[in-house]
Amino acid sequence: MEASAISYPSVSRHMPDVSVSDVRLLAVATAVPPIQLRQAAVMERARALFREWGEDIERLLPVYANAGIDTRYSCVPIAWYEEPHGWAEKNRLFLENALVLLEQATRDCLTGAGLQLDDIDAIVCVSTSGIATPSLDARLMERLHLRRDIVRLPIFGLGCAGGVLGLARAASLARAMPGARVLFLVVELCGLTFRRADQSKSNVIATALFGDGAAAALLVADTDIGTAESRGGHRISASGEYTWPDSLDIMGWRVEDDGLGVQFSKDIPSLIRAEFGSVLDGFLHRSGLRRDDIDHFLCHPGGTKVVDALEDVIGRGNGNLEHSRSVLRDYGNMSAVTVVFVLHRFLQAGGGGRSVMTAVGPGFTAGFLILDGT
């Protein structure tokens, strides 16, 4: 299992009756399952799997080469996809493997922050590729023997926007609990949503894009009695979102007998080119900023066409979203998890200054978050 972490200095525990200044990012960690899928091999499997389509599959195969992806990671071997599987089996695999990845990300994140399991005061857990009741955070509490008084907030349904919106919710919770350590978790096992009998174009495109992964981030709200050391790292200074009207059919899942059927519109890149810029500017304006005030954009790479559209909107030339492109290349589209991998890679590269994290997902919704570096 591949995993890594970025860390910042630790801070003190939950302290009531103090004023909050900033929400700080203490550590970020990522994790992927052990099975690596190479895009060329996936394409050949798809050709054999869909050979009954005849010429139709040959017409769609270029999507694999054009996806901008070299490798992805899966919690099941590639041969698993060749047989039909029911919803119950898929969700059982989701629960088993999601908890393994969440444990790895949690432990690495805490190690990076120099903290212990008992130091966690709250958990915000985001996922949209499986169902869990009791929720994943409750199951993780049992698995890791966490404190019984941890505040829990499971979130379902944010899709690809969940990495940004979930991190924003975690920051809001941290502000409401000054000094508490809030653990943000996100896991998606999108590969398990593949439906063998679905001959739609969207299903084929999903096989060319989706990967599995998890990520964790640890947050704390600085207080008026915090030390200079506690104020290192990156500060979450603002967040926001925008949901387009009459857009529920642009992206999401369809619940079918054999699992979750992928739904996304081919018009997403066009919508981003036409309308994302004004939505971004509106968010920045409410924060007292303009695009020229932003040093870096950390965008969820839904696919190469989406990244191209975002680069056109941002207006700084091809290559401005190099971390988004490199994460897409190395891990594929892991839905909500992907943008946290982009953040992790940005921090690994020593990224500073002011950054905007952004992602779009079902709703159809754009999420935004501003990070101010030291």
Give the active site residues.
Answer: 160
Find, among 357, 293, 291, 295, the residue nearest to 324 by Cα: 357
> What region does 159 belong to: left with phi over 0, alpha with psi -120 to 50, or beta?
left
Q: Which residues contact 351 (CB under 8 A, 6 or more apart)?
A: 296, 373
Find, among 50, 75, 76, the residue nearest to 61 by Cα: 50
Helix (H), strand (E) counts: the chain: 12, 14
Q: Which SS3 state, helix, strand or coil, does residue 313 take?
A: helix
Enter the tokens of residue 362. Answer: 């079902």
Find, among 77, 72, 98, the residue nearest to 189 by Cα: 98
Q: Cis (ω within 30 of 0) for the bond into 283?
A: no
Contact 329, 69 (CB under 8 A): yes
Contact 165, 241 (CB under 8 A): yes
DSSP annotation of 284: H
Contact 241, 364 (CB under 8 A): no
CA distance 39 to 71: 6
| Strand 122-126 relative to strand 181-189, pairing | parallel
Contact 44, 81 (CB under 8 A): no
> What region does 288 belong to: left with phi over 0, alpha with psi -120 to 50, or beta?
left
Contact 339, 158 (CB under 8 A): no
Q: What share of the chain is helix, strand, coil (3-state, %, to 5)?
A: 45, 25, 30
Place of tokens 């001959």: 199
CA distance 216 to 102: 8
CA distance 4 to 348: 10
